[in-house]
Amino acid sequence: PKGLTVAISKPYGSPEITKDGYKVMKSIKPEEPLAAAIASIITQSASQCNDKVGDGTTTCSILTAKVIEEVAKAKAAGADIVSIKNGILKAKEAVLTALMSMRREVEEEEIAQVATISANGDRNIGTKIAQCVKEVGRDGVITVEESKGFKDLEVEKTDGMQFDRGYLSPYFVTNAEKMLVEFENPYIFLTEKKINVVQHILPILENVARSGRPLLIIA
């Protein structure tokens, strides 16, 4: 609640004004090797907090720095590193258990407050984000895009799933008038790998061809 705004200088342009702990940590580049290593650990911790939670990176950075400080004290007092590690893991479990017992459902107004703080006090943005969270639910996805016109802040809801890219080639088009690919009851093949050689998926293609149904590949 008493966090301060930080100005981060840049090689070009105006300084960036932020309260985000992760951004601040990324900007810190100590020359001394030990300090640089510690800063890197704290930055990694803040990054994981940002990815998993999206908030609280300043608190996370402070806690991580304190853990490093206490580990250094314990090591200097003669404690072995394995015992320190085991102690940290036990403490982690105790803290997580305590936090789980205190958890409760977050109210929309509380979400708006957190979003407002992250938006540097812009209440309008905070309220809109809280409305989005309530609308899409816990498993929904919220994306932010810059307006291409002169419109004020607006919210657009899309049901189902959206991809940033469409079909790979116009040769896949089934509706030439609308330039759309429309399938009815297709097989869906999902893969994280890049398909460079058709032989890699040839057995799948052969089975689909025999079925007479279309195939949608998401890669």
Low-confidence ranges of the chain (pLDDT < 70): 1-3, 149-151
**How does pLDDT run across 79-89, given as a tens digit for each residue?**
999 999 999 99
Residue 193: per-residue pLDDT: 83
| Structure token digits, residue 3 | 């966090």
Instruction: For residue 124, give both structure tokens.
Output: 């309008």
pLDDT digits (tens, 9 = 90+) for 100-111: 999 988 888 888
Nearest to 62 by CA among 29, 99, 21: 21
Q: Which residues contact 206 (CB under 8 A, 6 or more apart)?
A: none
Is the pTM higher than 0.75? The answer reads: no
Do the beta carbons of residue 205 and residue 213 sit within 8 Å?
no
pLDDT tens digits, 134-165:
888 877 888 877 777 666 778 888 777 777 77
Give Dmax over CA atoms of the chain in angstroms: 77
Residues 73 and 210: their CA atoms lie apart, in Å, by: 69
- Phi/psi for 25 (5° steps) reads -65, -40
